Structure 1
């Protein structure tokens, strides 16, 4: 008897592999559709979209620094990640919950490839998160008052958190084949994804959290942030991929590709974690740059009208807005102050970039400080600083003011604004329009007594034109050191305080 040899068709092996991969992708698409329509995921994305619509229009008073706006996109994806994790875990445990796990053994697709389909099914959720992140950031970037530069690595953190959460859910399903696994995971994962975000970012341990929030003062130039965002993105990507490959390995994938994937992605996660920990510590060069930015910043100066405006390069587009405020305040002044040449310089606070310490006032005549934030309360704060320099000569002298000149100062600062009484309320620390209070400014705060507040309030209730003529006519006496609040009120044509101010 002779044996008959039948040659396999050319490309049969390739066709089988292609068919197997096609089946895997088809299953992944099916699971992705189911995942995106799960109630927790739908609720999370609806809440995310609603938060963007509610939060973004008024964020940073319409004047965002994009190096802060990119980090603002990282919080809500953690909620989405939690929903995706639980839903992906439930999907991977569906055979256990329905009692059909033993029947899947007769299928041509092995268990590890079905697990691969579940891991791939979380990718669309991560992509949808990326769309939300991009939409939120684009909204901020298109605001007329936006300045600065965003970081792609910071923007990638949110989608990568969702991707990592989903693959971890699949991994847990392969380790704990129980339908109660997902409910038991909710509390610890809620702590990890929502409450466990690292704060400060000054040490490497905090960067092991999904999101690292750095608290401090106002926005800073991009070059001074010192956040290892790129290494953190690598760390998150490594965790996401490593969890996926570990799930394949646990489900029976013992081939070279899976084992190599586990080794490489684990190395990726470890490398990202180590490098981000090193990057969290400021280098000597960064420390020196921060110190220079506080003591002797490299600013770009521009002439506008009679004054000079110096800003960090990223804030140069705001010079025109600052000049508009200076021109309006100076137009109300009298004497030589009306034509005085001012130098408006941007300054930041503490060099460690975490403390919210006040910027010390300048003693040089004609120097006005402006911060990196703008809009909202920052406008009357800046106009008060300008008025203080026009009335007293310097920021330091304005901070020590404790006589009737405060009346003229506050009228100059507030009378030109759309709603002077609201501006008075917003510029005071206690949001009041009566009694004594601290008046905020870009440097050290000013102080108003109860009597000064009463006189200023009466002035703001009168037409600005009439008061403006009196201010110009009596400028010399109104800005004379030691003038009383009662005398200032008399010169400006309103009732004086009921009793003498305690500081006079």
Structure 2
């Protein structure tokens, strides 16, 4: 009789069955691998190269070196969409890789079920999103460090770019789990583009516009930060909730929890049943419900329109700016600015002093009030001109600066020095306009270039409209001819004649021909007829 002895072998720690820690370690390892592949995909590399190059090129000269940070934060939102589209396509191809190479059936012997692999692909989006966030922060920081920067940015606006990339990436994963075809992602891009075009069409369709990742505002006006009325924080919550909802939906359709088939989305053998040990249906379903609730909260709240308090503040800023401004006196001129713009009074003073130095002795020391004004009643989309001030010796200045705004402001100062009132200067169309334009432009570094900048047609000949923060001026062809000749002559020579004949040059009865005679010029050959 043979006796059989059975030995019991205790497995070592190194051969212990894989548990939750080992499984999630594998998820993180796969996520790291997929993240590296994602960042080195050609579409993503090209998108980041274009994004970085465009950002650097544009930020060098953006806002003419005088940014308002409440505008600069919105300027960071559109370019990341290019990266988001590249990430969507690339991560979609990464999830479908097993189908393209027919390796899905081998996943059945691996430790990771399909929904774990989906989580890994979702986590692989994080480095790309963080890299976009760094680019957004760098762009905004560059603007904030410019010497002429004013205002305040919004964290909600700055989050829109990175969150848009996250949302587009999760959509790529979800579509790969729902549709095995590689054409699903490009079709999704077409649908998103069509919807974005439709959402941008209605002027009052705020509820539709704010469903898009980025909501632009086409405005030539800069408003104080408290007057924007944009629900940036709620929109960021909406984007975060929507991205989380899409991510959890992708996990669910991948075979999350008990009873899911391992073949879902991977091409592995059908019929094999996974037992969800680490994340149950209840946990993911509860998370999806919570994410959808956050999305709805953000979507509903952001569509509420401009708050009543903001509307009232817009009215106050537009009609009674003096009640909200801080004023400081310098060399006979009082500068009144909104709190966010007080650092810019030095730039205004430089222009005022330059124009004063060329004026006649009778007005060179005249007290002036430079008052900042804004037309905010129509929001960011408004482009209505401000009404000229009727109070004596007051000059309007807007909320933007740099570039064309500098000679425009110089013209406004010169107009008040010559006529005494901004309202009178706005309707002036006699010989005084020649004196005003010379005072405004002669002291600049590039007088002829400034002459073209302040005219609607960018010309230095013929009749033209002169741009202004208030009502535009109208230059006849004769005015233009004389101003051009004066700017080509030595400043000291013309300045002496202006000072000597100041009283007659600034009388309302002076004609263009008489102005030419007083300043030592021939009568203009061009027509001297003011427009309607």
- 1:272 matched to which residue of 2? 298
Quick one: distance in 1 between partners of 2:156 and 2:12? 49
Could you give the per-residue CA deviations for residues 423-459 of structure 1, whole angstroms, max 9, x where no partner exists?
Answer: 0000111100001111112111011111111010000
1:20-57 CA-partner distances (Å, limit 9, x unpaired): 11110000000000011111111110000010111111
RMSD: 2.3
Residues 199 and 215, structure 1, Cα contact 8 Å, conserved in 2: no
Distance 1:155 1:258 in 2: 29
Matches of 2:128 and 2:196, distance apart in 1: 16
Segments of 5+ residues of structure 2 without an aligned counterpart are 1-6, 258-279
Alignment of 1:63-142 (within 5 A): 63-142=66-145
- Report the CA distance shift for 1:436/1:499 in structure 2 as closer, same or farther (over 3 A): closer
Provide the secondary structure at the position in 2 that maps to 1:213: coil
TM-score (norm 2): 0.90
Alignment partner, residue 484 of structure 1: 511
Q: Tell me the secondary structure at the aligned position of residue 374 of structure 1.
A: coil
Give, in whole Å, the separation in 2 of the partners of 1:35 and 1:125: 8
C-alpha displacement at 1:67, in angstroms? Answer: 0.3
1:231 aligns with 2:234: yes
Deviations 1:72-117 (A, max 9, x none): 0000111111110111111011111111112212211100000000
| Shift, 1:294, TM fit | 0.3
Residue 402 of structure 1 corresponds to: 429
Compute the displacement of 1:7 (Å).
Answer: 11
Task: Confirm or deny that 1:347 pairs with 2:350.
Answer: no
Q: Is the 8 A contact 1:92 1:118 kept in 2?
A: yes
Alpha-carbon distance between aligned partners in 1 of 2:414 and 2:203, rounded to the nearest angstrom: 36
Match of 1:475 in 2: 502
Higher helix share: 1
Whole-angstrom distance in 2 between the partners of 1:393 and 1:92: 72
Whole-Å Cα distance in 2 between the matches of residues 327 and 108 of structure 1? 77
Residue 349 (structure 1) shift: 1.6
| Local SS of the residue matching 1:438 | strand
* 1:180–1:500 distance in 2 versus 1, CA, 3 Å: closer
Distance in 2 separating the partners of 1:371 and 1:322: 11
**Partner Cα distance (1:292, 1:13) in 2:** 72
Of residues 287, 306, 327, the one that matches 1:282 is: 306
Provide, for residues 459-495 of structure 1, a one-character-per-residue CA deviation record: whole Å limited to 9, x for no partner. Answer: 0000101111111111001001110111111111122
Q: Is the 8 A contact 1:429 1:438 kept in 2?
A: yes
What is the aligned counterpart of 1:184 among 183, 187, 191? 187
1:428-467 map, 5 Å: 428-467=455-494
Tell me the residue number matched to 2:24: 21
Question: Matched residues in 2 for 1:468 and 1:209: separation?
Answer: 57
SS at match of 1:345: strand
For residue 178 of structure 1, report the CA deviation from its aligned partner: 2.2
Q: Kindly tell me: are residues 291 and 389 of structure 1, through their superposed partners in 2, closer, same or farther at Cα, counting changes over 3 Å?
A: same
Give the whole-Å Cα distance in 2 for the aligned partners of 1:64 and 1:370: 16
Alignment counterpart, residue 293 of structure 1, candidates 310, 314, 317 = 317
The answer to whether the 8 A contact 2:394-2:422 is kept is yes
User: d(CA) in 1 for partners of 2:106 and 2:186?
Assistant: 25
User: What's 1:374 paired with?
Assistant: 401
| Cα deviation 1:252-307 (Å, max 9, x = unaligned) | 113132122111111111111111112xx122221111101100021111111101
Mean CA deviation greater in 186-195 or 391-400: 186-195
C-alpha separation in 2, matches of 1:299 and 1:7: 82
Total equivalences in the alignment: 500
Which structure has the larger Rg over C-alpha atoms?
A: 2
SS for the counterpart of 2:335 is: strand
Q: Give the alignment of 1:298-337 within 5 angstroms.
A: 298-337=324-363
Q: Residue 212 of structure 1: SS of its match in structure 2?
A: coil
Partner of 2:525: 498
CA offset at residue 209 of structure 1?
0.8
Q: Does 1:222 align with 2:225?
A: yes
**Separation (CA, whole Å) in 2 of partners of 1:197 and 1:55:** 24
Per-residue CA shift, 1:301-332, capped at 9, x if unaligned?
A: 11111010011100110001101100110111
Q: CA deviation at 1:15?
A: 7.3
How far apart, in 2, do the equivalents of 1:7 and 1:311 lie? Answer: 81
Query: Which whole-Å CA distance do the structure 2 matches of 1:441 and 1:194 have between them?
Result: 33
In the alignment, the residues of structure 1 paired with residue 121 and residue 20 of structure 2 have an alpha-carbon distance, to the nearest angstrom, of 19
Deviation at 1:363? 1.1
User: 2 CA distance for matches of 1:51 and 1:497?
Assistant: 47
- For the 8 Å contact 1:65–1:146, the answer to whether it is kept is yes
For the residues of structure 2 that align with 1:317 and 1:156, how far apart are their CA atoms? Answer: 27
Scaled by the length of structure 1, what TM-score is found? 0.95
Match of 1:363 in 2: 390
Distance 1:220 1:7 in 2: 74
**Distance in 1 (alpha carbons) for counterparts of 2:31 and 2:197:** 28
